[in-house]
Amino acid sequence: MQNTYKIVSSFEANCPAELVMKDGRKQKEITIGIWNPEPDDRDDLYVCLFNPAEYEAPGLDDWDDSLDVYQMDDILTLDAYEQLQIALFDYEEPFEMALSEKEFSIHPTEILEDELKGESAKAQMRSNEKQQQFDYGDVRASLVEVLFYLQSFFI
């Protein structure tokens, strides 16, 4: 099966659309917000994409540090980008815009593969955080037990 790509309207104030990509083999869908912090600025459309190299770099403290910002006019061809602008800014109706690989300036399979790695990395990060919370909980419980034990000598 082939990968599929589309842009779907969300009509949220700062995130008016989403780039939806589906992996043909794994049947896993990835949704990325298309941001527009200045609704009057038709050219300020961007996405935050996962960068595996940043994620693997030592000293990563925050998930946001593993994301890179890309302007949509750098991701889509000029024609596709203009179609997106018209759909977002000239009409007030929901839309869905199917995209072929030819309508991307950056190969969409690379974006999809990186985003799938990002989903996996994010799940691993959450798992590590839960494990750390659990470990800290064990340490606290052990300290309380030690304090009660020591207290028994002084009573």
What share of the chain in percent tops pLDDT 90? Answer: 48
How many other CB atoms are found less than 10 A from the CB of residue 23? 18
The answer to whether residues 17 and 6 touch, using CB atoms and an 8 Å cutoff, is: no
Note the residue count of the chain: 155
Provide the pLDDT confidence category of residue 139 given band limits of 50, 70 and 90: low
**What is d(CA 31, CA 29) in angstroms, rounded to the nearest whole number?**
7
The span from the CA of 113 to the CA of 41, in Å, is 30
pLDDT, residue 27, reads 92
Residues 74-127 have pLDDT tens digits of 999 999 999 999 999 998 889 999 999 999 999 999 999 989 888 888 877 777
Name 24's Cβ contacts closer than 8 Å, sequence gap at least 6: 1, 2, 3, 4
96-110 as b/e, with b when 16 or more CB fall inside 10 Å? ebebeeebbeeebee
> In the prediction, which pLDDT does 136 show?
52
Alpha-carbon distances, residue 15 vs 56, 73, 112, 137 (angstroms): 28, 16, 20, 38
Reading the block at residue 79, the tokens are 């024609």
Average pLDDT for 2-6: 96
What is the pLDDT, as a whole number, of residue 51?
78
Contact predicate 46/54, CB 8 Å: no
Question: Mean per-residue pLDDT for 32-54?
Answer: 87
Write down the mean pLDDT value for the chain.
Answer: 83
